[in-house]
Chains A and B, each alone.
Chain A
């Protein structure tokens, strides 16, 4: 907690960047992109060296980074269905199940499926993942796949609606969809948000989180959260702008506040792309600039507003009993260690795991190796 604010980080990952997990050239291009994201969007002192960042990280390192190096109380861990790029989707179903099993009071789970594989395959994958994580509350989508290129819209009645119906039957009440931030040199169109509205209208009992809200299509995102009670702006990565481009962050936040209201904004640290501590700290200290308040006719942010952004809004969206969770984690292994050590140095747990050889490294491939991948023409198949 930061003061009396219960902090829920709404998106965390445990990625596998090991070379043998890369399916194709697109995977290496995406890795180059996320490396830049980590190196440039974190403030000084919160960046890992490149070779230490690009690894196959275990869930324990991610959990320790979140709960021992910042005031994060709970995290939402996603299986990433990036099957077009990575053999295991980048964050495997196994890691997602492991972190859910080991720290059920600290971790909220989202399964992940690739809607381009068709409703039947998605439903089967969803059911398989829920056997391991029966208390998962959400489902993660990416807007397209690569090699071969294929995409979908959230409002497709044939391919998507049967999946939503089955998900609701199985207790999944939230869809988190990556938008606004293209995954490498790919077409931008699937990252638009216009398909959220038709899905949100047809399924009012399902919540839709627009992940990376505001990095692009801000007007459309703001108007979607304005109109639909079940559409939320998840500011994963966007909140890293607090350091990288603070004026831009103010502009985005002001528009989301005007149109959606403070209750529609959800914080995520995006570990390991961002470190949680500077983002939580920045949001907790955040004051809207006079210029923004005047431009958008907004009152100053209150502590209650910020408590909502840092966790209250998410808890309300998924119906989480915050007091029960507070009690459940008050004396768990992380709480005990924190009492002994205080907040640990940024990325200290990650660097220790790396130094101990527990995290497999990524090595930038040569052009010959990339050409070999191209020649292999590895197609993507969802597990």
Chain B
């Protein structure tokens, strides 16, 4: 962790913009799985702090220690954060001590994940005349 991680004071004025900026960056593996979730909804953003000079420091985790895509989405996060008007320096880091589990996902992320899994189950696999089950289920 860098020195800025030790900053405890936080300027909340930028919170909404930071959340929106990180919400525009998508976890590449979720995209590959046809279940697009943002860094926020995946629960990969664990904390951010903004100091008195509007410098932002974001702490993130990855879903697996072997993640090869992290440099890509960290850079994407930096680019989005730099677009915030009035923001100072931008620092985004991964804390390798944080163990990600699905529990860390936001409520929205969990809902989207459940919905898309249900859809995938329905779309995947096929039995002869499977539509009859759907029609029965729909009443």
B131 within 8 A of A: yes
Q: How far is the CA of A129 from the CA of B78 in the complex (A)?
A: 51
The stretch of A141-149, A255-263, A270-278 that contacts the partner chain: A255-263
A201 within 8 A of B: yes
B66 within 8 A of A: no
A228 within 8 A of B: yes
B32 within 8 A of A: no
State whether A228 and B134 are in contact (beta carbons under 8 Å apart), knowing that A201-B122, A201-B123 are contacts in the complex. Answer: yes
State whether A226 and B129 are in contact (beta carbons under 8 Å apart), knowing that A201-B119, A201-B122, A201-B123 are contacts in the complex. Answer: yes
B33 within 8 A of A: no
Q: How far is the CA of A226 from the CA of B125 in the complex (A)?
A: 10
Q: In whole Å, how far is A263's beta carbon from the nearest beta carbon of chain B?
A: 9
Are B123 and A229 in contact (CB-based, < 8 A)? no
How many A-B residue pairs have C-beta atoms within 8 angstroms? Tell me: 38
State whether A229 and B134 are in contact (beta carbons under 8 Å apart), knowing that A197-B123, A201-B123 are contacts in the complex. Answer: yes
Q: How far is the CA of A129 from the CA of B50 in the complex (A)?
A: 58
- How many interface residues does B have (CB within 8 Å)? 13
B53 within 8 A of A: no
State whether A226 and B122 are in contact (beta carbons under 8 Å apart), knowing that A204-B138, A261-B132 are contacts in the complex. Answer: no
A227 within 8 A of B: yes
Are B129 and A261 in contact (CB-based, < 8 A)? yes
State whether A260 and B131 are in contact (beta carbons under 8 Å apart), knowing that A201-B119, A204-B138, A229-B138 are contacts in the complex. Answer: yes
Contact of A258 among B123, B128, B131 (CB under 8 A): B128
Q: How far is the CA of A227 from the CA of B135 in the complex (A)?
A: 10
Q: A-side interface residues toward B, CB under 8 Å?
A: 197, 201, 204, 223, 225-229, 231, 258-261, 264
30 CB contacts below 8 A, A to B, read A201-B119, A201-B122, A201-B123, A223-B126, A226-B126, A226-B127, A226-B128, A226-B129, A226-B130, A227-B122, A227-B123, A227-B126, A227-B130, A227-B134, A228-B131, A228-B134, A229-B131, A229-B132, A229-B135, A229-B138, A231-B131, A258-B128, A259-B126, A259-B128, A260-B129, A261-B128, A261-B129, A261-B131, A261-B132, A264-B131
